Amino acid sequence: MRAITYHEHGGPDVLELTEVPTPEPSGKEVLVRVRAAGVNPFDFKVRAGAIPGLPSKFPSTPGSEIAGVVEAAGPDAEFAVGEEVFGWSSTGGYAEYALGWKLARKPEGLSWADAVAIPIPGEAATRALGLLDLKAGETLLVHGGSGNVGGFAVQLAASRGVTVVGTSAPGDEQIVADRGGIGVAFGDGLVERVRAVAPHVDAVLDAAGHGAVDVSLELLAAPIRLVSLVDPKAAEVGGIFTTTGSPNPAELIGEIADLVATGKMRMLPAREFPLAQAAQAQAAGEAGTGVGKIVLVP
């Protein structure tokens, strides 16, 4: 099968389209014919060597998120051949076929691109909000409110009666507003812009990095209610830095998919690239310009 592989850490140009053996499912595993693969900031960080110990071996195929059709199933699998599924991959999503785990059934009517945009950001947003334990009437600041994680975080919190202020690049504030939040531009003067729309901030979710922890400390009173998905410094200042932890991720992404499929949750149009252009897709994500999930289509 065709798959993107890389043999060393480096820039996007280390990614190559190669022929590799198709994995075989055993036990509970299923082999998925990939219809869409998610491209995540995590993928660039691993490729660049920014996460010690990852990838665990070379050559490596990037990509944790897949959506596609079950092609073959191990003897104990919960899914049958032909079912449409989405979730995580254990062998790398940037490929024609991938072994799936933590999968959910894709609702009818949900596009492949929307389905594959849910697992990592949807799980992370839900986990972070759970750690913040927000109540209706409280005010939450989401750094990265225009991003993929931010998209779920803003909508989930707003739907629970929380007032949400979300940061974005200048000009992207309407994206946050369309998600039910109040959009403010990141950059110099952010603290004042937040105070102008929200005199009191109860809690902060950092889904952006770029110094968001320091900004948050100026806005929060003690004890600090700050969760960062990006910056370990959050834990050093009394908040939480989280990287994993939802007990039932497959169930959780299934619930989010139902909200999207029934129009109760909005997603931005995906930015689709052919599999062979994985390097361009990652470069586009790293550039940080543009919004919407980056998706590879084999």
Ligand X SMILES: NC(=O)c1ccc[n+]([C@@H]2O[C@H](COP(=O)([O-])OP(=O)(O)OC[C@H]3O[C@@H](n4cnc5c(N)ncnc54)[C@H](OP(=O)(O)O)[C@@H]3O)[C@@H](O)[C@H]2O)c1
Residue 191: CB minimum distance to ligand X, A: 13
Cα–Cα distances in angstroms (integers) from residue 192 to residues 1, 70, 197, 215, 267, in the given order? 53, 51, 9, 10, 29
Q: Which is nearer to ligand X, 70 or 128 (CB)?
A: 128
* 77 binding ligand X? (CB under 6 A): no
Question: CB-hemisphere CA count at 13 Å for 29?
Answer: 14
Cα–Cα distances in angstroms (integers) from residue 165 to residues 81, 181, 186, 209, 264, in the given order? 44, 5, 11, 16, 20
Residue 285: CB minimum distance to ligand X, A: 6
Q: Which is nearer to ligand X, 24 or 218 (CB)?
A: 218
> Site for ligand X (CB under 6 A): which residue of 147, 181, 183, 239?
147
Site for ligand X in 198-237 (CB under 6 A): 207-210, 229-230
Q: Which is nearer to ligand X, 146 or 163 (CB)?
A: 146
Site for ligand X in 102-141 (CB under 6 A): 120-121, 124
Determine the size of the site formed for ligand X (CB under 6 A).
27
* 144 binding ligand X? (CB under 6 A): yes
Total number of residues shown for the chain: 298
Question: CB-hemisphere CA count at 13 Å for 185?
Answer: 7
Q: Which is nearer to ligand X, 62 or 147 (CB)?
A: 147
Tokens read off for 193: 């812009």
* 64 binding ligand X? (CB under 6 A): no
How far is 236 from 251, CA to CA, in rounded Å?
Answer: 32
| Residue in the block written with tokens 């968001």 | 212
218 phi and psi, to 5 degrees?
Answer: -75, -20
Query: How many other C-beta atoms are found inside a 10 Å radius of the C-beta of residue 12?
Result: 18
Residue 124: CB minimum distance to ligand X, A: 3
Q: Which is nearer to ligand X, 23 or 151 (CB)?
A: 151
Q: Which is nearer to ligand X, 56 or 244 (CB)?
A: 244
* 243 binding ligand X? (CB under 6 A): yes
Site for ligand X in 249-288 (CB under 6 A): 288
How far is 201 from 247, CA to CA, in rounded Å?
Answer: 29
Q: Which is nearer to ligand X, 161 or 245 (CB)?
A: 245
Segment interacting with ligand X (CB under 6 A) among 25-33, 67-75, 87-95, 147-155: 147-155
How far is 42 from 40, CA to CA, in rounded Å?
Answer: 5
How is 83-145 classified by DSSP, letter by letter?
-EEEEEESS-SSBSEEEEEEEEEPPTT--HHHHHTSHHHHHHHHHHHHHHT--TT-EEEEETT
The one-letter code for the residue type at 89 is S
| Residue span 11-50 as binding mask against ligand X, x where in contact by CB under 6 A, dash where not | -----------------------------xxx--------
Residue 125: CB minimum distance to ligand X, A: 8
The residue of the chain with the least Cβ separation from ligand X equals: 147
How far is 195 from 120, CA to CA, in rounded Å?
Answer: 31
> Site for ligand X (CB under 6 A): which residue of 5, 61, 91, 148?
148
Q: Return residues touching ligand X (CB under 6 A).
A: 40-42, 120-121, 124, 144, 146-150, 167-169, 172, 186, 207-210, 229-230, 242-243, 288, 291
